[in-house]
Amino acid sequence: MLDQEWQLIDQYLRKEFPTDQELWLDYLKFLSASEEEIFISVPNQIYKERVSEKYQPKIDDFMNNRFGKKYPLNVMVEEESEDDIVVLPTPPPSNPNRTYPPKKPQHLYHFLNSKYTFEQFVLGGNSQLAHAAALRISESPGKDYNPFFIYGGVGLGKTHLMQAIGHEIQSNDPVMAVHYATSEQFTNEYINSLQKGKVHAFRLKYRYADILLIDDIQFLEGKEGIQEELFHTFNMLKESGKQMVFTSDRPPRELKTITDRLLSRFASGLVADIKPPDLETRKAIIKKKAHQKDVGLSEEIIHFLANNITQNVRDLEAAVTKVKSIVELLNEKLTLKRVEIELHDVLNSYVGRKNVSVERVQKEVANYYNISYSDMKSKKRTSAIAKPRQIAVYLSKQLTNLSTTELGNEFGGRNHSTIISACQKIDREIQANESTQNDVEHLKIRLLRS
């Protein structure tokens, strides 16, 4: 639940204890929330006592009113005990790349996925800049683009590219300490370290990384305490010229409730995005994945998959896995019909997620080709109208849940075989003609966007 809840609690406390604001309430930092409790951090023991004596009873009332139950605050003290405070040594100048302090036991780290390498990454126009920057960073980490911020939609290869940087640097120089963590892991580790009084170890690990990779930064929205921790980590690493890479589902400026000072740091190096791959790239990805999984696919099936799964590489990969299972489990020759039947859930959920209306497709396509909406639905067959209409039919078949008969009704009372042949015609044209392919791609992206 409760990510947004803390803000309400905070407002409530400020109303109840107006004179406490600057001295006390400003120092309570939200970390994270579960169904059972809310984690916050405070500067020292005195704050902790004040929270439990003064604020917790009010919070209990507040939450009781909202949810009919109490939510305990789990208050973590940031201050370290006397003997926990160690002056952090600087790396010996003779070997500036060497990790110092020495590497921790491996089990402390979140591992890189061995498949997420540059070799396994299929390059396309959708990821060109991000990929080129990633390569450059691997060659000279901490130099040109620091930090490197990658953003883009789900399943488009952000984690893959980020980890490829990690692999490459690690294999060029095995002593480099490459730390990868999702924002969630970073958060949980921090909370854990506070609970166990081991913040110092946490900070040693992250502030002395050679390469820091933090995935899915959007998870930190609203979590002030973690943002602050990351802010200090950032500054320390930046100062010592260590490379950082972040990913997010949005560009920095669209991240809400992340403090300005952290946002401006995210944006201070290079920001690059990854878009959904175009048709050719999707085909190349399918071929690569099929090769990896050792499954043979006909051009026809590759084309079918690439045409129907457009917004998410993870879905493409899942489709290849499913096709492989058809071959292995059903022990049967792979036909397009079979693929269509077995993948209906993937394909439907794909379309269902967006559920575009046929009217929208017709209007968008009519607009794109500068013909009228009524012509789109008419019986006219001049080529200036017929081609856009066929494209609209083709896109409606992919993006709406209507059957071919229903689509026939929507397009001027045509029968279902006309609809099927329109789809086949556009399918052929996409393969033969790059400008049609681009038009269709462009329209599809527009339709799926909102």
* 75 lines the binding site for ligand ADP (CB under 6 A): no
What residues contact residue 25 under an 8 Å CB cut-off, 6+ apart?
10, 13, 14, 17
> What single letter denotes the amino acid at residue 368?
Y
Per CB under 6 A, does 156 bind ligand ADP?
yes
Shortest CB 277 distance to ligand ADP, Å? 7
Task: Report how far residue 244's alpha carbon sits from residue 242's, in angstroms, rounded to the nearest whole number.
Answer: 7
238, 314, 425, 446: residue in contact with ligand ADP (rule CB under 6 A): 314
Residue 278 as a binder of ligand ADP (CB under 6 A): the answer is no
CA distance linking residue 96 with residue 203, whole number of Å: 20
Report the sign of the C-alpha dihedral through residues 292, 298, 303, 305, in that order. negative
308 binds, among Mg ion, ligand ADP, none (CB under 5 to 8 A by kind): none
Q: Quick one: tokens of 226?
A: 């973690």
On whether the CB atoms of residues 242 and 97 are closer than 8 A, the answer is no
The C-alpha angle 144, 147, 151, rounded to 5 degrees, equals 115
Q: Nearest distance from residue 353's CB to ligand ADP, in Å? A: 15
Q: How far is the CB of 252 from ligand ADP (least distance, A)?
A: 16
For residues 216 and 439, which CB has a smaller minimum distance to Mg ion in the complex? 216
User: Of ligand ADP, Mg ion, none, which one does residue 376 interact with (CB within 5 to 8 Å by kind)?
Assistant: none
Task: Check residue 160 for interaction with ligand ADP (CB under 6 A).
Answer: yes
Q: Which of 224, 229, 317, 375 binds ligand ADP (CB under 6 A)?
A: 317
122 binds, among ligand ADP, Mg ion, none (CB under 5 to 8 A by kind): ligand ADP
CA–CA distance, 352 with 227 (Å, rounded to integer): 36
Taking the C-alpha atoms of residue 202 and residue 80, their distance in angstroms, rounded to an integer, is: 12
Binding site for Mg ion (CB under 5 A): 158-159
Contact partner at residue 388 from ligand ADP, Mg ion, none, CB < 5 to 8 Å by partner kind: none
Tell me, rounded to whole angstroms, the distance of Cα 107 from its chain centroid: 26
Residues 6+ apart with CB under 8 A from 28: 10, 40, 41, 42, 47, 51, 55
For ligand ADP, the closer of residues 229 and 315 by Cβ is 315
Output the smallest distance, CB 16 to ligand ADP, in A.
42
Q: Is 408 exposed, middle or buried (0-12, 13-18, 19+ CB in 10 A)?
A: buried
Q: Which residue is nearest to ligand ADP (CB)?
A: 157
Residue 381 CA to residue 389 CA, distance in Å, equals 9
Residue type, 440: V
Contact partner, 237, from ligand ADP, Mg ion, none, Cβ < 5-8 Å per class: none
Place of tokens 């006397």: 82
The least CB distance from residue 230 to ligand ADP, in Å, is: 19
Look-up: residue for tokens 């924002």?
Answer: 183
Cα distance from N-terminal residue to C-terminal residue, the chain? 27
Least separation in angstroms between residue 115's CB and ligand ADP is 6
285 contact, one of Mg ion, ligand ADP, none, CB 5-8 Å limit per kind: ligand ADP
Contacts of 30 (CB under 8 A, 6+ apart): 6, 7, 10, 38, 39, 40, 222, 223, 224, 225
50 lines the binding site for ligand ADP (CB under 6 A): no
| Residue 158 within binding range of ligand ADP, rule CB under 6 A | yes
Q: Cis check for the bond before 101: say yes or no (omega within 30 of 0).
A: yes
Question: CA 220 from chain center: how many Å?
Answer: 13
**Other Cβ atoms closer than 10 A to 336:** 12
* Nearest distance from C-beta of residue 184 to ligand ADP, angstroms: 13
Calpha distance 258→148 (Å, rounded): 18
- The least CB distance from residue 314 to Mg ion, in Å, is 9
Q: Token pair of 293, please?
A: 């999984």
Count of residues interacting with ligand ADP (CB under 6 A): 18
Nearer Cβ to Mg ion (158/223):
158
Instruction: Check residue 350 for interaction with ligand ADP (CB under 6 A).
Output: no
Closest distance of CB 113 from ligand ADP, Å: 8
Nearest distance in Å: CB 321, ligand ADP:
10
User: Segment contacting ligand ADP (CB under 6 A): 118-126, 199-207, 250-258, 413-421?
Assistant: 118-126
Residue ranges in 207-246 that form contacts with ligand ADP under rule CB under 6 A: none
132 binds ligand ADP, rule: CB under 6 A: no
Please report whether residue 199 would count as binding ligand ADP according to CB under 6 A: no
Report the candidate in 266, 330, 273 with the shortest Cα–Cα distance to residue 129: 273
Q: Could you tell which of Mg ion, ligand ADP, none binds residue 146, using a CB distance below 5 to 8 A set by kind?
A: none
326 near ligand ADP (CB under 6 A)? no
Residues lying near ligand ADP in the complex (CB under 6 A): 116, 120-122, 127, 152, 154-160, 285, 288, 313-314, 317
